[in-house]
Chain A
């Protein structure tokens, strides 16, 4: 076995999610390690926001984010775990205080909220659950 490139491309959580679901639903019954890892990975991904994403929204969102001069891994994080607060943006974007103004941060948040509207729904559901506890 030979490794040609250990990092040929990055995948978003959504792409992995869709691919694994295809494997899970394929007519052939999966067995062994593949079944284990697809099951465990899907269970993790189902809890993230990628469950409600779709390719159009992601492409459109990336287009809207172009003007902010973010690098690829930053954009990947924004799509994988869309932040809802300025604090989270600060974590994901290196030196965000120098690179982005407060208005820009707000614009990014509203772009993300526009393309991934389920984000806030999920959040309120969680809060409801907590209140019930």
Chain B
């Protein structure tokens, strides 16, 4: 679920931080820069793990800050493909079941990856697994919001969200707002997957 990513950065330490120990200042700046952000093709950054090396700092004419090349390792949320994770159902919609991990919300289980046969209940706004009990009757298993759910990660999608150019700024803003930098696709169409309560016994 979590991995370490090795990165290199030129960290700018502004003069008001010169009273701090260099390591602390660098760690603070790196966390400010990366914590809770998605790096393209890396994942969701959680927190600085450690600094592996700090090189000599240098100053640039006209800037009172010091610049330091640091090599560091960062804790990143990046589940591998086929990993089994446990999350909570955030909501259900026609597009499928939206799952949250608490710190990461963009997980979708599309209708085709739900237990078969499932259908969307409009009045309850929930997906229902019409479990065949074997004697011809059906048992409706609702997938309500807030329930714990075990799912398999099947795909990851990274989207570039850099700001668009000056052309049609208004349009561009609308697009960036709906863009999700990192999202996961899940599936629960195997025995053992789905709400934890389904498989308790």
Contacts and interface: CB of A to CB of B under 8 A. Distances in A.
Interface in A72-122: 73, 77, 80-81, 85, 87-88, 90-92, 94
Given A41-B103, A80-B1, A91 B152 contact: yes
B155 interface: no
11 contacts: A2-B8, A10-B4, A16-B2, A19-B75, A33-B37, A40-B102, A40-B103, A48-B86, A87-B191, A90-B192, A92-B84
A23 B4 CA distance: 16
Contacts of A90: 191-192
A73 B153 CA distance: 13
Interface in B71-103: 71, 73, 75-78, 80, 82-86, 101-103
A12 B4 CA distance: 11
B47 A7 contact: no
Contacts of A19: 47, 49, 75
Interface stretch (B38-46, B123-131, B135-143): B38-46
A5 interface: yes
B3 A34 contact: no
B23 to A, nearest CB: 13
Contacts of B45: 37
Given A2-B7, A34-B36, A80-B1, A16 B75 contact: yes
Interface in B154-201: 190-193, 199-200
Interface string B12-49: 00000000000010000001100111010111011101
Question: For chain A, what secondary structure do more than half of its interface residues adopt (helix, strand, loop), or is it mixed?
Answer: helix
Interface residues of A, number: 42
A9 interface: yes
Interface string A20-46: 100100001000111011101101100
Given A34-B36, A37-B36, 8 more contacts: A1-B8, A1-B10, A6-B76, A16-B75, A19-B49, A20-B46, A34-B32, A91-B152
A8 B86 contact: no
B103 A3 contact: no
Interface in B114-130: none
Nearest to B201: A85
A16 B101 CA distance: 15
A80 B102 CA distance: 17
Contact of A91 (B35, B36, B193): B193
